[in-house]
């Protein structure tokens, strides 16, 4: 189970987004060129090779990509730079070197997310930002929540773990990590890019 700060006490109740089932609407390609270059599908055989698991990652710095720490079984361990103790984030090396432009989200703004389906196909999800949450003592937002009608095809779920969330201008605004259903609504949780950058910076900081 992922460990979160005290302000995240409820988050272990979330469903993690790496799974065998499919969600989101099938799409042939990523429409945003910068995201298409930075997007990394993740896939691995699990349960003695009988089943498979899917997730995603995105380049966030030259030669460095981020995904969720619970996607560790989908990434070559030799490429892993490190995981963040209090956040479901893992950074790893990649040959890709062109991170996309980033931006901040605002409550009420529309967002687009990309992930992988159970069969390895690309999926897209859409939603509206409902909440931006700060953690106590943090200088960067902890995470944000975007929502959609869970009965719609284009809502995030299994396979979107670690995938990018974009604003309507195609800029990277977050990294998905979990979801929770509330009645007819699905709440999808994503780390703000300011938080992702802060965690990468902390990981790269030399030990005293």
108 part of a folded domain: yes
- Bridge partner list, 28: none
pTM of the model: 0.87
106 part of a folded domain: yes
Give the DSSP H or E segment for 188: strand 185-192
What domain count does the chain have?
1
2 part of a folded domain: no
DSSP 67-112: E-GGGGGGS-GGGEEEE-TTSS-EEEE-S---PPPB----TT-EEE
Q: Which of 2-16, 22-36, 174-188 shows the lowest mean pLDDT across its residues?
A: 2-16
Q: Which of 89-93, 111-115, 137-141, 162-166 shows the lowest mean pLDDT across its residues?
A: 137-141
Cβ pair 145, 160 in contact under 8 A: no
Q: What is the pLDDT of residues 130-177, one digit of tens each?
A: 999 987 777 677 899 999 888 888 888 888 999 999 999 999 999 999
75 part of a folded domain: yes
3 part of a folded domain: no
CATH number at residue 99: 2.40.10.120
110 part of a folded domain: yes
Tell me the residue range of the domain where 25 lies: 14-202
1 part of a folded domain: no
Higher per-residue confidence, 20 vs 30? 30
In this predicted structure, the answer to whether residue 72 has a pLDDT above a threshold of 80 is yes
Q: What is the mean pLDDT of residues 76-105?
A: 94
Helices (H), the chain: 33-38, 193-204
107 part of a folded domain: yes
């Amino acid at each position: 189970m992922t460990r979160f700060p005290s302000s995240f006490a409820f988050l272990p109740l979330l469903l993690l987004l790496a799974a065998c089932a499919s969600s989101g609407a099938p799409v042939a390609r990523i429409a945003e060129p910068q995201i298409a270059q930075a997007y990394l599908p993740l896939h691995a055989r699990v349960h003695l090779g009988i089943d498979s698991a899917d997730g995603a990652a995105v380049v966030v710095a030259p030669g460095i990509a981020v995904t969720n720490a619970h996607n560790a079984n989908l990434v070559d361990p030799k490429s892993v730079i490190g995981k963040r103790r209090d956040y479901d984030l893992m950074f790893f090396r990649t040959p890709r070197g062109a991170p996309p432009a980033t931006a901040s989200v605002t409550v009420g703004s529309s967002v687009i997310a990309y992930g992988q389906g159970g069969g390895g196909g690309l999926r897209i999800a859409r939603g509206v930002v409902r909440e931006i949450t700060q953690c106590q003592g943090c200088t960067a937002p902890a995470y944000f929540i975007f929502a959609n009608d869970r009965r719609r095809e284009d809502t995030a779920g299994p396979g979107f773990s670690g995938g990018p969330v974009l604003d309507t201008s195609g800029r990277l605004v977050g990294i998905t990590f979990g979801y929770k259903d509330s009645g007819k609504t699905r709440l999808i949780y994503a780390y703000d890019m300011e938080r992702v950058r802060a965690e990468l910076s902390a990981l790269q900081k030399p030990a005293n």
